[in-house]
Amino acid sequence: MDTPHDLLRPDRPRREWPIAAGLLLLALVPSIAGAFRIGEIASGATETAANARFMQMPLPVLLHITGALVYSTVGAFQFLPRLRRRRNGWHRSAGRYLLVPAGLVVAGTGLWMTAFYDTPAIDDRAVAFSRYVIGAAMLACILLGVAAVRRRDHFAHGSWMMRAYALAMGAGTQVLTSGPPLLLFGEPSELARLLQMDAGWIINALVAELIIARRRAASRRPATMAA
């Protein structure tokens, strides 16, 4: 059984690397879909009802997809304690020059596309509201994370950045919450679409809060035992 000191030890690669692998796997399907969309735009594919908004205004979706690829891939390695401790310079540089800009681009373009793209009717009302909430929450988490690291509150910094990453990875979880019902029952109703989309974000947010709570408890336990 792990002791509190075991939980805080930096030399646990066997337990850490599956985390990165799982996060990359979660991002795989959205990444493939994004790459397909980029190829469609680059090749000048025939405009259809499904892709018209992307073909007519490609810049926002291209920025969104590129930012998401960077954010999901690089971000998967930012939460590995061993790598973070041994490569702290890389952790700070990747966060400052890649993850924060990419995260802001993802959230900002997501909000822009929700506001200005001519989306399908099923996404126009309740789902659009959820996207506004998630985009704004992601932006707030990133900015709070930046403010925390500037005042050297590293636990708060990691917590806010984990929350932002969890929200951004909602697209991966939504493949799992939307895909099986689509195969079993066909196209969803507006309510079902809302529940499937929100479930992806809520699941990720709850997992992030669970991890944050466990880290907080683990960081306090040695001091409590010593007292």
pLDDT class of 138 with cuts at 50, 70, 90: very high
At residue 1, does pLDDT exceed 50?
no
Is 157 in contact with 149 (CB distance < 8 Å)?
yes
Q: Is the pLDDT of residue 223 over 80?
A: no
Tokens 């050297």 locate to: 152
Q: What is the dihedral of CA 97, 90, 26, 67, to 10 degrees?
A: 10
> Tens digits of per-residue pLDDT, 150-163?
999 999 999 999 99
Higher pLDDT, 49 or 210: 210
Instruction: Write the pLDDT tens digit of every residue in 55-96.
Output: 999 999 999 999 999 999 999 988 887 777 777 888 899 999
pLDDT of 102 over the 90 cut:
yes
pLDDT digits (tens, 9 = 90+) for 142-197: 999 999 999 999 999 999 999 999 999 999 999 999 999 999 999 999 999 999 99
Whether 212 has a pLDDT exceeding 90, the answer reads yes
pLDDT for the residue numbered 5:
39
Residue 145: per-residue pLDDT: 97
- Give the residue carrying structure tokens 């499904």: 50
DSSP states of the chain as a string?
---HHHHH-S--HHHHHHHHHHHHHHTHHHHHHHHHHHHHHHTTPPP-TTTHHHHHSHHHHHHHHHHHHHHHHHHHHHT-HHHHHHTHHHHHHHIIIIIHHHHHHHHHHHHHHHHHS---GGGSSHHHHHHHHHHHHHHHHHHHHHHHHHTT-HHHHHHHHHHHHHHHTHHHHHHHHHHHHHHHH-SPPHHHHHHHHHHHHHHHHHHHHHHHHHHHHHHHHHHHHH-
Determine the 3-state secondary structure of 152 from DSSP.
coil
